[in-house]
């Protein structure tokens, strides 16, 4: 029986990885992301077990460094839309790694082959966008409905929680008309880390 891809986990990894990546995309420091990922790869090569608590580090470390050959695009779309994990022989022909990253890829595979495949699924979704993500989300809901191992509320997407029926706490309301409102803080964004 084919292994399953945990699509909910892949979407969460994608969100976390994207947040990390975006925090280093600064026009004023164009090499920040490259320097950060180089450090991250060195750390993961020394200690892959770090990924047990921070699995999003692997897609960040490999961001922009994995190529998906055109012939494999349909395969990845099928795997993601059906929630089926590829076996190793299928996977290794569907993603091309840079020679400089082969040692890291081997170390991660030895630590957790499923995590390596999940991370490449995250990178594929980041590269190929919503066309796959939409179909993957729909099929996952159908799949977990048949499985009945999760409470139905746990399958709600993050967008569903914007609905007032979930107790939005009024965070989305415009408070610019409140007395004493000062909009000088509206555009402040916080980064997780700054490169040294």
Integer Cα distance of 184 and 196 in angstroms: 28
- Locate the domains of the chain by residue range: 7-147
∠ CA(12), CA(15), CA(17), 5° rounding? 105
Note the pLDDT of residue 191: 46
Q: Are 17 and 126 spatial neighbours (Cβ–Cβ below 8 Å)?
A: yes
pLDDT, tens digit, 9 for 90 and up, residues 90-143: 999 999 999 999 999 999 999 999 999 999 999 999 998 755 544 444 444 333
Q: Average pLDDT for residues 176-194, to the nearest whole number?
A: 45
Note the pLDDT of residue 162: 39
Higher-pLDDT residue of 194, 81:
81
Residue 12 Cα distances to 6, 17, 59, angstroms: 10, 9, 12
Note the pLDDT of residue 69: 85
pLDDT, tens digit, 9 for 90 and up, residues 146-158: 333 333 333 333 4
Q: Helix, strand, or coil here: 192?
A: coil
Q: Helix, strand, or coil here: 178?
A: coil
Q: Average pLDDT for residues 59-64, to the nearest whole number?
A: 95
Which pTM value belongs to this model? 0.67
Integer Cα distance of 188 and 63 in angstroms: 26
pLDDT, tens digit, 9 for 90 and up, residues 15-51: 999 999 999 998 899 999 999 999 999 999 999 999 9
State the pLDDT confidence band at 70, using cuts at 50, 70 and 90: confident
Q: Helix, strand, or coil here: 12?
A: helix
């Amino acid at each position: 029986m084919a292994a399953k891809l945990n699509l909910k986990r892949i979407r969460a990894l994608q969100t976390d990885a994207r947040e990390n990546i975006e925090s280093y995309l600064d026009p004023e420091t164009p090499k920040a992301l490259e320097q950060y990922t180089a450090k991250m790869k060195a750390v993961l090569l020394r200690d892959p077990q770090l990924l047990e608590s921070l699995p999003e580090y692997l897609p960040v470390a490999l961001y922009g460094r994995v190529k998906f050959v055109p012939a494999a695009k349909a395969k990845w779309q099928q795997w993601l839309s059906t929630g089926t994990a590829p076996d190793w022989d299928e996977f290794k022909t569907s993603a091309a790694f840079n020679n400089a990253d082969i040692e890291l890829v081997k170390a991660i595979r030895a630590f957790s082959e499923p995590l390596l495949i999940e991370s490449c699924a995250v990178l594929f979704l980041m590269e190929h966008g919503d066309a796959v993500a939409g179909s993957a989300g729909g099929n996952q809901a159908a799949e977990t409905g048949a499985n009945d191992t999760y409470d139905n509320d746990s399958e709600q997407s993050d967008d569903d929680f914007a609905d007032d029926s979930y107790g939005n706490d009024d965070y989305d309301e415009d408070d610019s008309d409140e007395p004493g409102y000062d909009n000088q803080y509206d555009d402040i964004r916080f980064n997780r880390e700054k490169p040294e």
